[in-house]
Amino acid sequence: MRVVSTLQAPAALEAAWLCVGVYDGQTDPPPALAGTEAGRRLGSLLATKEVAGGLGETTPVLGALGLAAGSLLVFGLGQREKFGAGPAFDAGVAVAKKLAGKPRERVAVVLPETDDAAAIASALVQGLIVGMRGPDLRKAEPARHPFGELLVAAPPGGPLAAEALTAAVRRGEVIGEAINLARELANLPPAEKPPARLAERVRAAATAAGLGVEVWDLDRLRQERFGGLLGVAAGSAEPPAFVVLRYQGGG
């Protein structure tokens, strides 16, 4: 899945779905929909409590909405005073579960208005990526499908400049993918992840992330005198492996 950040006006984003968040008890539509039929429609639904902002709630709004996107999904952020990285992650998971049930070429998500914009952007993207992966390692057809492209849009007049938004979204993408990889490896049966094979999966992921990687085999472990590890490995038919990761970048 391609993850892209943008400062373009949310109403002009071309996507299958435009997703906007609302807080619990909110009565006005978010500024991202200002001046659109979608904003007027959502404002009416909020005023009559047909749409609520409870954390984890998702409500599709269909029809002619004056948006470049095909449809609108409203997702709940929970109580404004309690909103933070944790609820943002949960909201992202809820959106992903709602829309990832079938393949979608492009989905746009508007970041909520908040003071801690970078942390919220990162957490929301993490939740979106984690929510697209279901517990279906053994299914012929996956229950959830990553979007072809995920557009992450800043709210109009938000505090994040383009560079800061890109960095926050990228951080969320990396952490989200790392969570999915860790869950996949943890859920694999032991017979499918002997040390050498597991080490190669780690090598591939680390190399793609720009990390230095070194895999020590049995001979190297003997040379380095890793007696404890060698003692444990002696009880297995599979040879041991040890992975050394090096990060020499900044940040």
- pLDDT confidence bin for 137, thresholds 50/70/90: low
Do residues 199 and 182 both lie within one domain?
no
Average pLDDT over residues 154-180: 93
Q: What is the pLDDT of residue 217?
A: 96
Do residues 237 and 114 both lie within one domain?
no
Do residues 165 and 223 both lie within one domain?
no
Among the candidates 187, 205, 224, a domain finishes at 187
Do residues 95 and 204 both lie within one domain?
no
Do residues 43 and 135 both lie within one domain?
yes
Q: Average pLDDT over the chain, rounded to whole?
A: 94
Q: Which residues contact 234 (CB under 8 A, 6 or more apart)?
A: none
Is 93 a member of any domain? yes
Q: Which single residue is written with the structure tokens 């229950």?
A: 143
SS3 47: helix
Q: Which single residue is written with the structure tokens 């020499």?
A: 248
Stretch among 46-55, 134-143, 192-201, 230-239 having the lowest mean pLDDT: 134-143
Q: What is the pLDDT of residue 247?
A: 92
- More confident site: 162 or 135: 162
Question: Mind giving me the DSSP string for 79-115?
Answer: -GGG-SHHHHHHHHHHHHHHHTTS--SEEEEEPPP-S
Average pLDDT over residues 4-17: 96
* CB-based contact 32:11 (threshold 8 Å): yes
Average pLDDT over residues 21-44: 95
Do residues 77 and 61 both lie within one domain?
yes
SS3 71: strand
Query: Residue 202: which of 218, 178, 221 has the closest Cα?
Result: 178
Do residues 198 and 161 both lie within one domain?
no
- pLDDT confidence bin for 201, thresholds 50/70/90: very high
Expressed in angstroms, the distance from the first to the final Cα of the chain is 25
Is 251 a member of any domain? no
Give the number of C-alpha atoms closer than 13 A to the C-alpha of residue 223, restricted to the C-beta side. Answer: 6
Average pLDDT over residues 158-165: 89
The answer on pLDDT for 178 being more than 90 is: yes
* CB-based contact 87:56 (threshold 8 Å): no
Do residues 196 and 159 both lie within one domain?
no
The answer on pLDDT for 185 being more than 70 is: yes
SS3 232: helix
41-82 pLDDT tens trace: 999 999 999 998 999 999 999 988 999 999 999 999 999 999
Does the global pTM surpass 0.85?
yes
Do residues 162 and 45 both lie within one domain?
yes
Q: Which residues contact 130 (CB under 8 A, 6 or more apart)?
A: 89, 92, 93, 96, 176, 179, 180
Number of domains the chain contains: 2
Is 151 a member of any domain? yes
Among the candidates 187, 206, 237, a domain finishes at 187
Cα–Cα distance measured from residue 21 to residue 145, given in angstroms and rounded to the nearest whole number: 22
Do residues 8 and 47 both lie within one domain?
yes
Query: Residue 16: which of 95, 62, 69, 75 has the closest Cα?
Result: 69
Q: What is the pLDDT of residue 251?
A: 53
Which residues on adjacent β-strands are paired with residue 5? 152
- pLDDT confidence bin for 140, thresholds 50/70/90: confident
Do residues 167 and 198 both lie within one domain?
no
Average pLDDT over residues 178-183: 93
- Name the percent of the chain lying above pLDDT 70: 99
Among the candidates 140, 159, 187, a domain finishes at 187
Do residues 61 and 94 both lie within one domain?
yes
Q: What is the pLDDT of residue 250?
A: 64
The answer on pLDDT for 238 being more than 90 is: yes
Q: What is the pLDDT of residue 243?
A: 98
Domain membership of residue 116 as a residue range? 2-187
- Name the percent of the chain lying above pLDDT 90: 85
